[in-house]
Amino acid sequence: MNGIDATDRRILTLLDEDGRMPTAMIAMRLGLARGTVQTRLERLRESGALRLHSARIAPAALGRPVGASVQVELDQHQIGEAVEALANIPEVLECFAPAGSTDLLLRVVAKDPDDLYRVSEEIRLCPGINRTSTSLFLREVIPYRVTALLAAGE
């Protein structure tokens, strides 16, 4: 999305600091009319700039403190079936199609190492998946953030 201007960036910076900040508070802090903030937020949502269901909860709060990435090698003729099956596994938080030798890259969570094994097996048994490789996350050193991007401008 290229239509993010300086005012949008100011709004998004406040939301990155506190995703639950009310529209009226954003307007007050930025010296804008409440309607202006609301209109801009609706435009950003409709354009895809704001994530759907953007309240990001820590998986540990849901009893899933173990995180991992799973690299997936696919039968290219079954990519649709594989993605559909992966979307039905609740522990698969994100799925990317990267460039390079990996066909899909997943971010998954689990209750503990044994549960991670279960999740990995569930992934491996999806249609079209030939091979997987799992890497355990030991610690989060840089959390998800966009504030620096917003400050960097265009």
- Tens of pLDDT along 108-153? 999 999 999 999 999 999 999 999 999 999 998 988 877 788 888 7
**Alpha carbon distance 81, 87 (integer Å):** 10
- To the nearest 10°, the Cα dihedral for 36, 42, 45, 50? 30
Query: What is the distance between the alpha carbons of residues 148 and 14, in angstroms, rounded to a whole number?
Result: 12
**Greater pLDDT, 150 or 67:** 67
Q: Single out the residue of 2, 7, 6 nearest to residue 38, CA to CA.
A: 7
Residue 110 burial class via C-beta count within 10 angstroms: exposed 0-12, middle 13-18, buried 19 and up:
buried
Structural domains for the chain:
6-51 (1.10.10.10), 65-137 (3.30.70.920)
